Structure 1
Amino acid sequence: MTAAVALFTRDLRLRDNPPLRAACKAADTVVPLFVRDTGIDAAGYAAPNRLAFLADCLTDLDHGLRQRGARLIVRTGEVVEQVCRVAHEADAAEVHVAADVSGFAARREERLRAALESAGRRLCVHDRVVTAVAPGEITASGKDHMAVFTPYFRRWEDTHRRDPLGAPRRIGAVEGLKSEKVPSRTRTKGVSPGVPEGGESAGRERFADWLSSGMDAYEDRHDDLAADATSRLSPHLHFGTLSPAELVARARRQGGPGAEAFVRQLAWRDFHHQVLAARPHTARADYRTHHDHWRTGEQAGREAEAWRQGRTGYPVVDAAMRQLRHEGWMHNRGRLLVGSFLAKTLYVDWRVGARHFLDHLVDGDIANNQMNWQWMAGTGTDTRPNRVLNPITQGKKYDPEGGYVRRWVPELADVHKRYVHEPWKLGEEEFAALGYPEPIVDLGDGLDRFRHARGK
């Protein structure tokens, strides 16, 4: 009996999983393996919200594997060491894994390949698993990636995509392998109360519901903060409980402006992945530097903390930050607003914001989080790097009735829509009675400071 290892990373699903299908085809028996990487813990990226969602994903994955005759083998430790150990125990000739884009993932892949080859085994890396189109598949002439989204998207649309795969009907198991218990959400401390359920089953149910009742209106309503009309599939895409290739195929099959707008967002995700794959240092450093001298010191620290707590005095910013703390998620328009406010209005280093997001976001991954933060800070791929979003005008535009603000900022629950984005205009006594903070910065002063700092 031959054996192969299917190493799950950010592809925690049975449907449309090329590494798993390839392992099943290559050998009589398969070891479905997940390694709880202690390197992620050591780097400080094991956020409670993601750990809770991950536990759900692994529980659901194990259940699906057991229905097909196998089970999930869980080990904890350094990934290369644990994979090699399991491959030796199973006498597996091959290890199949999805390609990923971060510098951390690239170094891990390189070390794993070398270690396996030294033992006479083979590492098989599969593209188009974490993304719909592989990083590096679309490039400008003489370059290793594309830096502007619109021309990238035109070529992305014309790129041939593989057909989604079904789940294996039966998986031959390797007997006698030891496994740790599959993690449980209930053992995870510090989880935000509104973190949704993880797992392929939950993801497919959510996508099916949204496909039938939300996608058609997406083009018109995706920026409506109060409507909450986005798919909320980003955590499932991050953990790979849903396949981006399958989502593109099913959206295109349904068709219409809403579906095309949704597909465009999936292309943005691929775009950020190909930037990070080509420039892994941008996880920490500016993609396009303006030599910013970001504000530090006591006052900047107090303002950044007010931003984290949702106490800036600007209602739409505070609503978004409080949503993040409660749900481990934030509406995309809110992400743009709070990013602009921190990096440009307060002129605080974008890395401060990126770190806070990674501490809370269920969907927080390096490619999308860091590149989106750089876009908002004007150090990334934005072709208008000095644009500044005004939280008052943006609030009035995207939350005109104030429903989003009232949902997340209870101090303003009874304020009329005329004042909900500028409550200080109520009058001194009435405003004081709300218990809501005054603005921590004058928007005009913040804009002048930013323009002076950027020389604009």
Structure 2
Amino acid sequence: MTVAIVLYTSDLRVNDHPPLRAALSSAGEVVPLFVRDSRIEAAGFGAPNRQAFLADCLADLDAGLRARGGRLIVRSGDPVAAVAAVAGESDADEVHMAAGASAYARSREARLRDALEREGRRLYVHEGVVTAVAPGELTPAGSDHFAVFTPYFRRWAALPPRALSAAPRHVPVPEGIASQALPARGAVRGVSDLLARGGEAEGRELLTRWLSGGIRQYGQIHDDLAADATSRLSPHLHFGTVSATEIVRRAQQRGGLGAAAFVRQICWRDFHYQVLAARPDAAAADYRSRHDHWRTERDAGEEIQAWRDGRTGYPLIDAAMRQLRQEGWMHNRARLLTASFLTKTLYVDWRIGARHFLDLLVDGDIANNQLNWQWAAGTGTDTRPNRVLNPLLQARRFDPDGAYVRRWVPELAGLSVPYVHQPWKLSGPDRAAIDYPEPLVDLTDALGRFRRSRGIG
């Protein structure tokens, strides 16, 4: 009986899984395989929150496969060596996997293809599994990728999503293939107290609730920080427990202005993936250099630490940074505000902020984290690279009654507007009674420094 391996990476599901479907169509048995990549952990990307969420995802994937007569095989180490070993043990003819977008993912695919071909085996890489539209599928005239979102969105929206692939009823797995124990969430140290649960079942339930309720008002209130009116699906998109294509198709079927606004956000994710696929060095280098002379840990260490700790003296910024530490997640509007504050108000290198986010975010991936940070810093695809988001103005717009700040900065919970956003305006014993720092920097002075540094009047 012929055997095929399905190598899972960022696609931890059984529903709408083209590599699994293809493997089942071409072979009598399949080996669903996940490799705990030692290189990723050695590079510092094995953040506790993602490791804990991953443990949930793998346990749920194994349960989904067992319900279909199969099981998940787990190995660790170098993925190329691990796949080659499993291929030898199972006498597999072919390996199926989802395409990646990062430089590392593409290098892994190339190394794996070479190793398999040397042994007479074949690698099939499936596009459009991690994203709704594959990177490189849409290109403008004269370029290998879109550098501006709006024209990309027009083309993306006009392209019908691919057909969904139903979950298989039966997944036959050959006997005798050894597996390591599934990782346990409880064994991971340093996990955020309020980290969400992972897994395909959790993600699909979350999606169904979102489509039946919250999505209706998404267009009007998605930036309302206290309302928490976003889908919370980003961790499931990152780990692929729910298909981006299925999300788009089901949202479009739901219809309405809220669904349209939500689908546009899924397109932003695809947009960043196609930028990174075309410009892999954007993970660490300016996509568009502004010739900045950023401040670093050496000359702004105390300010950077205050930002990390949520002690900048600007309550909206501090609320967002404390949400990040407590939940391993942050509202998208808050991500833009905290990134603008670090890069443009404090004039600190965006890579420092991006690294901190990757250390804590359960949904932290290279494409969206790095390129959103570059957008905020003005070195990315933003067509207004010198815009600065004022935290006080943003607080009036997106947390007008201070509910978001009170939730995450409890020492300010008893303050009314406007003091909850500007506690420094309190005087005498009222101010002395609050253990909360003065503003780290004057906003007018900081804006002047940024404009001078960018050479703008």
**Normalization by structure 1: what TM-score?**
0.99
C-alpha change, 1:416 and 1:299, in structure 2 (3 Å) is: farther
**In 2, Cα distance between equivalents of 1:159 and 1:252:** 13
Structure 1 residue 248 displacement after superposition: 0.3
**In 1, Cα distance between equivalents of 2:263 and 2:432:** 46
Aligned-partner residue type, residue 379 of structure 1: T
Residue in 2 aligned with 1:29? 29
Residue in 1 aligned with 2:320? 320
**In 2, Cα distance between equivalents of 1:227 and 1:16:** 32
Residue in 1 aligned with 2:402? 402
Partner of 2:418, secondary structure, is coil
**In 2, Cα distance between equivalents of 1:142 and 1:219:** 34
Aligned-partner residue type, residue 90 of structure 2: A
Aligned-partner residue type, residue 316 of structure 2: V
Q: How many residues align?
A: 456
Structure 1 residue 172 displacement after superposition: 1.1
**In 1, Cα distance between equivalents of 2:321 and 2:281:** 27
Q: Does 1:308 align with 2:308?
A: yes
Aligned-partner residue type, residue 417 of structure 1: V
Residue in 2 aligned with 1:425? 425
Partner of 2:174, secondary structure, is coil
What are the Cα deviations for residues 270-324 of structure 1, in whole angstroms up to 9, with x where unaligned?
A: 0000000000000000000011101136551100000000000000000000000
Q: Which has the higher mean CA deviation after the structures are superposed, 55-64 or 422-431? A: 422-431
CA contact (8 A) 2:2 2:27 kept: yes
CA RMSD of aligned residues (A): 0.7
Residue in 2 aligned with 1:334? 334
Residue in 1 aligned with 2:216? 216
Residue in 1 aligned with 2:157? 157
Residue in 2 aligned with 1:188? 188
Residue in 1 aligned with 2:82? 82
Q: Which has the higher mean CA deviation after the structures are superposed, 156-165 or 69-78? A: 156-165
Partner of 2:433, secondary structure, is helix
**In 1, Cα distance between equivalents of 2:417 and 2:54:** 40
Q: Does 1:6 align with 2:6?
A: yes
**In 2, Cα distance between equivalents of 1:298 and 1:87:** 49
What are the Cα deviations for residues 166-218 of structure 1, in whole angstroms up to 9, with x where unaligned?
A: 10000111110000011110111110011100000000111111111100010
Aligned-partner residue type, residue 273 of structure 2: H
**In 2, Cα distance between equivalents of 1:351 and 1:299:** 15
CA contact (8 A) 2:3 2:30 kept: yes
CA contact (8 A) 2:297 2:304 kept: no
Residue in 2 aligned with 1:133? 133
> What pairs with 1:58-69 in structure 2 (closer than 5 Å)?
58-69=58-69
Partner of 1:125, secondary structure, is strand
Aligned-partner residue type, residue 420 of structure 1: V
**In 2, Cα distance between equivalents of 1:451 and 1:432:** 35
CA contact (8 A) 2:199 2:241 kept: yes
What are the Cα deviations for residues 323-351 of structure 1, in whole angstroms up to 9, with x where unaligned?
A: 00000000000000000000000000000
**In 1, Cα distance between equivalents of 2:213 and 2:70:** 35
Structure 2 regions of 5+ residues with no counterpart?
none
Residue in 2 aligned with 1:414? 414
**In 2, Cα distance between equivalents of 1:300 and 1:194:** 30
C-alpha change, 1:385 and 1:208, in structure 2 (3 Å) is: same
Residue in 1 aligned with 2:143? 143
**In 2, Cα distance between equivalents of 1:296 and 1:431:** 32
Structure 1 residue 159 displacement after superposition: 1.3
Residue in 2 aligned with 1:229? 229
**In 2, Cα distance between equivalents of 1:185 and 1:192:** 12
**In 2, Cα distance between equivalents of 1:283 and 1:176:** 41
Aligned-partner residue type, residue 341 of structure 1: F
**In 2, Cα distance between equivalents of 1:428 and 1:105:** 58
Q: Does 1:45 align with 2:71?
A: no
Partner of 1:434, secondary structure, is coil
**In 2, Cα distance between equivalents of 1:405 and 1:431:** 17
Q: Which has the higher mean CA deviation after the structures are superposed, 85-94 or 316-325? A: 85-94
Partner of 1:215, secondary structure, is helix
**Normalization by structure 2: what TM-score?**
0.99
**In 1, Cα distance between equivalents of 2:257 and 2:360:** 32
Aligned-partner residue type, residue 31 of structure 2: V
**In 2, Cα distance between equivalents of 1:253 and 1:388:** 37
Aligned-partner residue type, residue 419 of structure 2: Y
**In 2, Cα distance between equivalents of 1:439 and 1:394:** 16
**In 2, Cα distance between equivalents of 1:355 and 1:141:** 34
What are the Cα deviations for residues 25-69 of structure 1, in whole angstroms up to 9, with x where unaligned?
A: 110000000000000011000000000000000000000101111
Residue in 2 aligned with 1:104? 104
Residue in 1 aligned with 2:348? 348
**In 2, Cα distance between equivalents of 1:341 and 1:254:** 37
Aligned-partner residue type, residue 42 of structure 1: A
**In 1, Cα distance between equivalents of 2:182 and 2:428:** 56
Over the matched positions of the two proteins, sequence identity in percent amounts to: 65
Residue in 2 aligned with 1:122? 122
**In 2, Cα distance between equivalents of 1:428 and 1:362:** 42
Partner of 1:46, secondary structure, is coil
Partner of 1:5, secondary structure, is strand
